[in-house]
Amino acid sequence: MHTNNPYAHAGWPNPNPNAVGRGSGGGSIPPSLLGALPFSAPSSPSAMIPFRFVSMNPDLLNCTVIGPDNSVHFRIVTDNPRPGFTVVHSAQGQGQAVAVVEWKSHPIVEIRDTVPKQYMGQWLALSGQQTSRTMEVRGKRYSWAPGRDTLQMYGLEFNPPALLVKVTRQADSIILEISAHAIHAGLLSSCVVGTVLLLCGRNLD
């Protein structure tokens, strides 16, 4: 399940294109694990808004995501109660699942009301140059690419592409800075899931 993911280790990001991995699985995907539940996003005006991945026990696949107001926004749990699954829970309401990852030989991802169930290697598709991954959410395309000491996500609908997310690592946490535009567009859960998948150290394809 583990691979040399250039986004995942202490020296990340590493632009080595040969370390990213390639391909996606075939076959049919079983029905959705999530219900058709509503999604809402804040409509903050501008600027980059920080979210922190903390309490990693032992790693990013089991952690808590804290918002700019220091309140819990998401809880990420792996192998509990079902081995082989990572579930992202919203801290709002009853803590319902907003995303599910199934760690099969070809991992599967689904994000409620945002990303239909599909192979992870299709949702985070490796670029032709093998230096970035393209993510599609609600018909729009975004690119994740390593920068100097950061992981960055750009909106490809803009010309030139606009920086929407910047991820940096600190001693005991990972900081996701996301633009108000991206939050208003309903990208927060997808960016949280994308950050976890790209930095978790597991094979995405």
Whichever domain contains 79, its CATH number is: 2.40.160
158 lies in a domain?
Answer: yes
Confidence of residue 95 (pLDDT cuts 50, 70, 90): confident
Determine the Cα–Cα distance for residues 191 and 35; give it in Å rounded to an integer: 20
**15 vs 97 pLDDT, higher one:** 97
For residue range 19-58, what is the model confidence (pLDDT) as tens digits? 333 344 445 554 433 332 232 333 333 489 999 999 999 9
Partners of 153 in beta bridges? 144, 165
pTM above threshold 0.85? no
100 lies in a domain?
Answer: yes
Of the CA atoms within 13 Å of residue 55, those in its CB half-sphere come to 10
Residue 155 structural domain: 50-199
3 lies in a domain?
Answer: no
How many structural domains compose the chain? 1
Q: Give the pLDDT score at 19.
A: 30
41 lies in a domain?
Answer: no
15 lies in a domain?
Answer: no
